[in-house]
A and B are shown apart, each in its own frame.
Chain A
Amino acid sequence: MKYFLRKLGLLAFTLFVSVSLNFFLPRMMPGDPARALLDKMENLQPEQLDTIRAAFGLDTDDPLIVQYGRYLRNTLRGDLGTSFSRFPTPVSEVMRVALPWSIGLMGICTVISFSVGTIVGIGAAWRRETKLASITVGFFSFVRSFPYFWLGLVFIYFFAFKARIFPIGSAYDVEAARGSASWWLSVLRHGALPAMTIVVSSLGAWILTMRNNMINVLAEDYITVAMAKGLPLQRIKSMYAAKNAILPSVTGFAMSLGFVIGGGLVTEMVFAYPGIGYMLYQAVNAKDYPLMQAIFLFIAVAVLIANFAADIAVMILDPRVRDGAK
């Protein structure tokens, strides 16, 4: 419990720090985002400039500390400002539309990849003398070395461009009624290729990590003791070997869940998938500072929360961590 409270306190503190950094960092950068935006709109009268500044909330004559207070209040209320490139849509609305796609695609793929990879890794270590185990491990070590955007392009070429089994880009069929059965089906069809890319390219890492952990654990004395005690093999495999071997993987899993929000950048670009990654790409191109800032904030918060979740998961699985012994 002490451990939990300590981690909770740490989470609150780091959240505060990252929210603050998100405010101060852009303001410490040289140049004025407002100026940069306004320079693009040539031949504006000073009055027009002022109107636009006011509309975007760029009338920054207040002292920094006042701005900071306002920023904190707005952020807590969920008001992240107005998007430059999608004016007058509020940033929070842009995020609300993009988030489900990222979480749906990346989140589900990360969970699938971790679960399948871990189970395969356990099996590959448990039966490591078998041919199947060495072939699996060899194959995924090979696939793992492909850059995933390249894998995505290969999949698009073969499955979308040549074979035309799956659509080339986007996340759903615009002609289907949103929420209808055919729309959901189109979501699945559009998601299939990016999902395959993510799962195939990340599976190898989980398999290898789990397999290596597992092989190390299998050499431990307590495995020999469990064998000597005549325990059922299933119990040795799960409660003695896998439960110890999975601890490092759990941390890695939670970390990668944290990167779900921003980590799909390249995949989403390759597949023109309207998630947060794709949104960030567009925001950078359009110099849409409020949107960028909001995305960075979301990524930071997601990573922090995932870290916290990892700590809690390890706490539940490992009694040593619970006692703060390790």
Chain B
Amino acid sequence: MGDTMLEIRNLSAGYATAKGFVRAVDDVSFSLGRGEFLGVAGESGCGKSTLAYAIMRLLRDNARIESGSALFKGRDLAAMTAAEVNAHRWTDMAMVFQSAMNALNPVLSVGEQLTDAVHAHRSVSRAEAEALAAEMLALVDIHADRLKSYPHQLSGGMRQRVMIAMALILKPELLIMDEPTTALDVVVQRSIIEKIEELRRRLGFSVIFITHDLSLLVEISDSLGIMYAGRMVEYGPAAELFNDPRHPYTEGLMNSFPSLTGPLRRMDGIEGRTPDLLSPPPGCRFAPRCRYARPTCSAGDPPRLEPLGGGRLSACPYPRRGEAYGCAPAAPAAPEGGSL
């Protein structure tokens, strides 16, 4: 993967609410190489979107980065002034949002929305900007005629491809995608993901792909990060992490989705709910829902990611499969013939 493009160090970010500070991203660290594809997965509310917005410096209103740093090619994004952020954003890194319908301005044509990003950062003529916009649309298999179209005249998949073209128009080195396929049907999801993969090979940018659907990530990711309740609980090369999860939460998450190619299994899901981030439980935040939890899991500071060798990290102190987590599954939680 070569040199490091983005290094996140102990990043914490969250929202000031009437009831207190909600730390949606809590002490997260990881690094991303040039051209690397990192998938970040977790349930709704685990902080994965906040992480994306924090890296993009797009947190709004009551949200802020609390501590830590995000080094993009050595420059700390968290410490940049607003003007520096404005110059850096979209030229160095760009973002694709969850719902392309909401992310595109309904009263401006596709062409205007593509070219205004160009004009904001480069002094080019109108014709040059339009040529670039047409070229980007071609890259995502949309005919240049569509420059005159308005968002509502496009299908959901086309809109998302326009959004991708818009994000790539200034040739950024990093593309952050926040659930880019969640609002689309499976067939379109597949075509979008193949498109992203093709463009990444051709243009060589790095990707942080955020989703709640772990199964989407396995085939295209180089690395996977699993988030739970604001913390990164497992991190490692995608295939190994998927085949041999070393955190009970990862295991549970994988059991929540059917595998398209593997044998049919019982879908177990995970019992219980995500914790309230206003007052997270002591110790490991997953402990209250973890079938392998021991009394010591629910005490002290949350466990940190520890290296397991081979580029793998886990925040579980007992990072072994099955009984080897340190104890047998607690009797009441174990389903009959449980496959966990």
Contacts and interface: CB of A to CB of B under 8 A. Distances in A.
A222 interface: yes
Interface string B103-121: 1111111001000110011
A63 B293 CA distance: 95
A251 to B, nearest CB: 15
A229 B120 contact: yes
Contacts of A325: 152
Contacts of B318: none
Nearest to A218: B60
A297 B245 CA distance: 78
B121 A230 contact: yes
Interface centre among B87, B95, B99, B108 (most CB of A within 10 A): B108
Interface in A134-172: none
Contacts of B112: 239
Contacts of A221: 97-99, 102-103
Given A221-B102, A243-B107, A318-B107, A229 B117 contact: yes
A226 B99 CA distance: 15
A186 to B, nearest CB: 45
A228 B95 contact: yes
B97 A244 contact: no
Nearest to B83: A230
Nearest to B87: A230
A278 B322 CA distance: 88
A239 B150 CA distance: 14
B79 interface: no
B191 interface: no
A182 interface: no
B104 A231 contact: no
A249 B116 CA distance: 26
Contacts of A232: 120
Contact of A231 (B106, B109, B120): B120
- Chain A, interface SS category: helix
A222 B95 CA distance: 12
Interface string A203-242: 0000000000000000011101111111110010001100
B86 interface: yes
A230 B152 contact: no
B1 interface: no
Contacts of B150: 319-320, 323
Given A228-B89, A230-B89, A318-B107, 6 more contacts: A222-B106, A230-B121, A231-B120, A240-B108, A243-B108, A319-B107
23 contacts: A220-B102, A221-B97, A221-B99, A221-B103, A222-B102, A222-B103, A222-B104, A224-B97, A225-B166, A228-B95, A229-B116, A231-B116, A231-B117, A235-B116, A244-B106, A318-B107, A319-B106, A319-B107, A319-B150, A319-B152, A320-B106, A320-B150, A323-B152
Nearest to A223: B105
A224 B86 CA distance: 13
A272 interface: no
B interface, size bucket: 20 to 34
Contacts of A240: 105, 108
Given A221-B102, A243-B107, A319-B152, A230 B90 contact: yes
B179 to A, nearest CB: 12
Residue of A227, A228, A240, A244 contacting most chain B CB atoms (<10 Å): A228
Interface in A285-326: 317-320, 323, 325-326
Interface in A226-281: 226-232, 235, 239-240, 243-244
A83 B107 CA distance: 50
A243 B99 CA distance: 21
B58 interface: yes
Contacts of B297: none
Closest 6 CB pairs of A and B: A221-B102, A319-B150, A229-B117, A222-B105, A221-B103, A230-B86
Interface string B145-160: 0000010110000000
A226 B105 CA distance: 9
A35 B116 CA distance: 71
Contact of A228 (B56, B102, B106, B153): B56
A323 B90 contact: no
Contacts of B98: 221
Contacts of A235: 116
B254 interface: no
Q: Which residue, of B86, B98, B104, B112, has the highest number of chain A Cβ atoms within 10 A? A: B86
Contact of B58 (A224, A231, A319, A320): A224
